[in-house]
Amino acid sequence: MVIFGLGILFTSILRSAAIQYSFSSSPKVAMVYELQEEVDYKLPYVGKILPDSPLWFIKVARDRLWLILTLNKSRKAELNLLFADKRLVSSKILFEKGEYELGTVILLKAERYLEVAGNIEVGCREAGEDTRELVGRITMSSLKHREVINYILALSPEDVRPEIVRIKDITRDVFIKGRNALREKGETAPKSPSEWD
């Protein structure tokens, strides 16, 4: 009974703290999605429960609990990266369905998870851990996020685009930090998109 009550309380807090946007319902002018070289990074399957489902809060609670119970910092970074990738795919699906407000909220959460993964990796590296593989994955993920965000931009109504571009800046910052970390270690870093040089 207490667990059920805590679950309801937790859900209420999550919903009241959620960011909400209000945008027009359809693109006024469709942007042309510029074909670009596909980034060699596989995004995970998101499952059938998407953010527009009434059961979404269960997935959110599960993810947060998973993060709380994970004590290993490198593993915590990997989980944040996984959640970032899953939220990105969910956001793309929402934009394809025309759910721009919710899609924008989920996209912001995706990029925040990516940012947290990058910050945790920095902490691990400063503590002396060998994080070359992890920083490489985070850096490649940020390039994949950019690719998907460009696609989302093409689907977005005109009034949504400035917010998407601001969110994309988070992705750029994660990429630059990861690329620089790889170069410092003498590793080959992925090529920067021209807009990020």
Residue 37 lies in a domain: no
pLDDT given at position 30: 45
Residue 188 lies in a domain: yes
Residue 67 lies in a domain: no
Residue 47 lies in a domain: no
Residue 55 lies in a domain: no
Length reported for the chain? 197
Q: Which residues contact 116 (CB under 8 A, 6 or more apart)?
A: 77, 80
Output the DSSP codes for 89-129. Answer: HHHHHHHHTT-HHHHHHHHHHHHHHHHHHHHHHHHHHHTT-
pLDDT given at position 37: 74
Residue 62 burial (10 A CB sphere; 0-12, 13-18, 19+): exposed
Residue 156 lies in a domain: yes
pLDDT given at position 194: 83
Q: What is the CATH number of the domain that holds 157?
A: 1.20.1260
Measure Cα distances from 182 to 9, 55, 83, 138 in Å. Answer: 43, 40, 23, 11
Instruction: List the domain range (segments joined by +) for residue 118.
Output: 72-197
106-124 residue pLDDT tens: 999 999 999 999 999 999 9
129-150 residue pLDDT tens: 999 999 999 999 999 999 999 9
Residue 79 lies in a domain: yes
Residue 160 lies in a domain: yes
Q: Which of 49, 137, 135 is nearest to 86 (CA)?
A: 49
pLDDT given at position 51: 97
Q: What is the pLDDT along the chain (197 residues), one digit of tens a residue?
A: 656 555 555 555 555 555 555 545 555 444 444 556 789 999 999 999 999 999 999 999 999 999 999 999 999 999 999 999 999 999 999 999 999 999 999 999 999 999 999 999 999 999 999 999 999 999 999 999 999 999 999 999 999 999 999 999 999 999 999 999 999 989 999 988 888 87
How many domains does the structure of the chain reveal?
1
